[in-house]
Amino acid sequence: MTDRQDRKAFFRELGKYSALGLEMALSVVIGMGIGYYLDRWLGTGPWLTIVWIGLGFAAGVRSLYRAAVRSGKDLERDEERRRKPGGP
C-alpha cells in the first residue's frame, strides 16, 4: 500500500462518513413530513406522524448499516490487495 493509495482510501471514507450524519437526520425529517401530510390528508390524528417518525429513524439506521457493510467490504479488499505479493 503506497502513500497515494492510503490517501485515496482516506478521501473515500471521509466522503462516506461525512454523508452519514446529515442523511440520518434528514431521514427522520422526511419521515415526519410524510406522516404529517398523510395525517392532514386522512385526518387520523397524530398517529401516522408518530409511526412515520419511527420509520424515518429506521431508515437512518438502515443507511448507517449499509455504509458500515460497504466500508467493511472495501477495507477487506484493500487489506487483501496489500497482502498480495507484487501488488500495487
**Which residues make up the interface to another protein (CB under 8 A)?**
8, 11-12, 14-16, 18-19, 22-23, 26-27, 30-31, 34, 52, 55-56, 58-60, 62-63, 66, 70
Q: Smallest gap, in angstroms, from Cβ of residue 74 to another protein? A: 8
Grid cell at residue 58: 429506521
Q: Which is nearer to another protein, 46 or 54 (CB)?
A: 54
Tell me how far apart the alpha carbons of residues 81 and 8 are, in angstroms, rounded to a whole number. Answer: 14
Q: Smallest gap, in angstroms, from Cβ of residue 49 to another protein? A: 14
Tell me how far apart the alpha carbons of residues 37 and 46 are, in angstroms, rounded to a whole number. Answer: 11
